[in-house]
Structure 1
Amino acid sequence: MRFIHTSDWHLGRTLHNQSLLDEQAQMLETLLTLIETHEVDALVIAGDIFDRSVPPAAAVSLLDDFLDKVVQQLKVSVIAIGGNHDGQERLAFGARQMAGAGLYIQGPVRASIEPVHIDGKQGAAFFYPIPYAEPALVRHLLNDEDIHSHQDAMAALLAKVTAHNSDGLPKIVISHCFLDGGNESDSERPLSIGGADKISPALFAPFDYAALGHLHGPQYKGAEHVRYSGSPLKYSFSEQHQNKSVTLVNILPGQAPDIRLLPIKPQRDVRIIEGYLDALLTRGASDPGRDDYLMVRLLDTHAILEPMAKLRAIYPNVLHLERTGLMQERALEGPGRERMQKSELTMFEDFFTQVQGEPLSGPQKTLMSELIASLHREGGQ
């Protein structure tokens, strides 16, 4: 059984109000090529297919076109589950009818875990879809008052997987959850407050493979086969150092799974650059990644006229600007009205010099100093 494990597509997502739909479309084209090249038997999508419960129409259309190519043209089965971002009921619309074509979608969690049997070129396997679910919902579905945490809920659901007779075929669990010890990033929505969402990786260890979703960095916990594929694109600047990929898994009965990461190269990278404005502008002229989505941290400690416009003339996709140097200088100088007045006068001097091309004269500086002091006195009345 050979399949690709992926998750957390977040179709329809924006980064600092910049639509990522073009990058997502290119990512899906790359995934389509990988599916065909590696001749996989199935594609597993472990939740958060969309970025919100009511996704934009363009994102829905993008997914529809992709699934049609995979299921109808390549004849590859798809098993997908709902994540905490997905509108699970909407995601599961028509799921019973689509299962006959090889598209298996488990939207909301159910009281019974319905295994999906897939016949592969080198053997068959059972896939057990377990969508994201709040403990209260699982407690209600199973009528079990002892379920209070995500750990309790997952243990009860996995007990059903254990009880299922697979006739010796591999058992592959698909789940959207947060394992204890997992490495997080800024773009993941917390499942709960205070650590109650954490689940022990040991719960998944007895199965042949655990295809997990929710965390955006590719990683495994507890055992190599208990694994997050990570998101195929970067969805926050905290992910700048993550190498994005999907996971190729090959399982034969009685053997440990063979696991490989297949890189996903984005159309535009997401990264942070730092330095002084003049140096960044000079460097940008020869930067092959100047079209990337960027956060810029400026080290300059003086006022700058329209820094974003100057940066975007070289780096067209600067999405966020931080005046790191200016903030550090203010923090070092400490609080106080005298410091504030001095800082404001210094900032105006820098601004005046940039606009006029010459520094303030003595009388002009005295006039501005008196004006700032007067404004502070009025503000204190």
Structure 2
Amino acid sequence: MRVLHTADWHLGKTLRGVSLHEDQAHVLDQVFKAVVEEGVEVLLIAGDVYDKASPSEAAMKLYSDFLERVHEQTDAAIVVIAGNHDSGQRLGTASKLFDRRRILVRGPIERDETPLILEDEHGKIAISALPYGEIYSARRAFEAEDIRSPEDVLRAQIEAARARVPDDARWVVVAHAFVTNCQPTETERRLSVGTVETVSAAIFEGANYVALGHLHRPQTAGGNAIRYSGSPLAFGFDEAGTTKSMTVFDLDGQGQVVNLKTVDFEPLRQVREVRGLLEDLVSEAKANPSDDYIRAILLDDGALIEPAAQLRPHYPNILQTLREKKQDLVMSSAGRAQSKLDDPVGVIGEFLTYVRGEGATEREEGVVKGVLDRPVLEDAK
């Protein structure tokens, strides 16, 4: 069975105040095209369909139009879960009216983790859709007061789901979580406050494939069959120049993931960073105008006159201009450190000796020096 895994659409999101509606419609067209051209039999959408719990009418229409198009123009089954940005109640509205043989949309967290059962020439495939749920919601749903972390929530969901998987079925899990040792970006919202938000990949033991949402970088999470597809668009300048993709694979008769590949998105506009002296950047912009989303890093010394205004005629979507400078040591008379304040490595070493009884290791000193040598970005006036 051929499967397409995507996640973290964040419909309705803005980038520094600029609507991404056109950009999102453009990438959803590419998801639909991939479903058709790749012969996809199951479409998995692993949460954060919307960017807000109360999405705009335009964002909701974009989502509903996409689902209708997939349902009416293809034979693909559709599985959708709520992420931490979604309202589970809103996403799950009227889900019981959907074709239960082909569509599974899970909004609120529930004790009943009934999977979507599909069949191919090799037999049954059970797809468990596990929406994101807050700790207190999970306690109510599972009547378990010992649920205290996102991992406890997911463990309860997995156990409930595992109990509903037929013995002879291959098992696919769709979930929204932060798996330990995976790499976030600057734009994910924390899943919990005051507790560990990550979960172990071992929690998914027994699943043939785990389609994850939440982290925006495409990556594996402890194994080739536990994966984040990543978001279809870059939502921050820390992702400038990165390639976004969706994941397509076949699940064979033994439950092995085969023929796995990523299908790259072609964004309507790139998110990118330009760096240099303002005069040089203006000359480059005149020669190669662009409507990409741009952040300019200015290396000039001294005052600059409205740098964004000089660049905007050629870069209409310039969203940020920053000045780069080396970090200056902040002088202070506080504390009892014996090292001079122009020796921050020594001050930090003394602090570590005070709090833990030994100074900085060579590796820790390297980290400190790396941070101190890092340029500081500040808004250009």
TM-score over 0.5 (shorter chain): yes
Structure 1 counterpart of 2:196, one-letter code: A
Question: Which residue does the alignment assign to 1:264?
Answer: 265
Distance in 2 (alpha carbons) for counterparts of 1:228 and 1:200: 14
Contact 2:275–2:299 (CA under 8 A) maintained in structure 1: yes
Give TM-score, length-normalised by structure 2. Answer: 0.82
Question: Which residue does the alignment assign to 2:360?
Answer: none
Question: Which residue does the alignment assign to 2:33?
Answer: 33
1:175-254 matches, cutoff 5 A: 175-194=175-194, 196-254=196-254
Match of 1:285, SS state, is helix
Distance in 1 (alpha carbons) for counterparts of 2:121 and 2:68: 21
Distance in 2 (alpha carbons) for counterparts of 1:85 and 1:193: 15
Distance in 1 (alpha carbons) for counterparts of 2:122 and 2:270: 37
Deviation at 1:260, TM superposition (A): 1.0
1:334-345 matches, cutoff 5 A: none
Match of 2:313, SS state, is helix
**Superposition RMSD on alpha carbons, in Å?**
2.0
Question: Which residue does the alignment assign to 2:361?
Answer: none
Question: Which residue does the alignment assign to 1:15?
Answer: 15
Match of 2:78, SS state, is strand
Deviation at 1:122, TM superposition (A): 6.6
1:166/1:89 CA distance change after superposition, 3 Å: same
Question: Which residue does the alignment assign to 1:343?
Answer: none
Distance in 2 (alpha carbons) for counterparts of 1:15 and 1:255: 40
Q: Which is further off, 207-216 or 95-104?
A: 95-104
Gaps of 5+ in 2: 333-381
Q: Which is further off, 255-264 or 35-44?
A: 255-264
CA radius of gyration, larger in: 1
Gaps of 5+ in 1: 337-381
1:307/1:60 CA distance change after superposition, 3 Å: same
Distance in 2 (alpha carbons) for counterparts of 1:332 and 1:179: 37
Contact 2:271–2:292 (CA under 8 A) maintained in structure 1: yes
1:4-153 matches, cutoff 5 A: 4-100=4-100, 102-120=102-120, 124-153=124-153
Question: Which residue does the alignment assign to 1:281?
Answer: 282
Contact 1:106–1:131 (CA under 8 A) maintained in structure 2: yes
Give TM-score, length-normalised by structure 1. Answer: 0.82
Percent same amino acid at aligned positions? 34
Distance in 1 (alpha carbons) for counterparts of 2:124 and 2:41: 9
Structure 1 counterpart of 2:274, one-letter code: I
How many residues are treated as equivalent by the alignment? 331
Question: Whose helix proportion is higher, 1 or 2?
Answer: 1
Match of 1:40, SS state, is coil
Distance in 1 (alpha carbons) for counterparts of 2:100 and 2:151: 33
Match of 2:49, SS state, is coil
Contact 1:169–1:253 (CA under 8 A) maintained in structure 2: no
Deviation at 1:169, TM superposition (A): 2.1
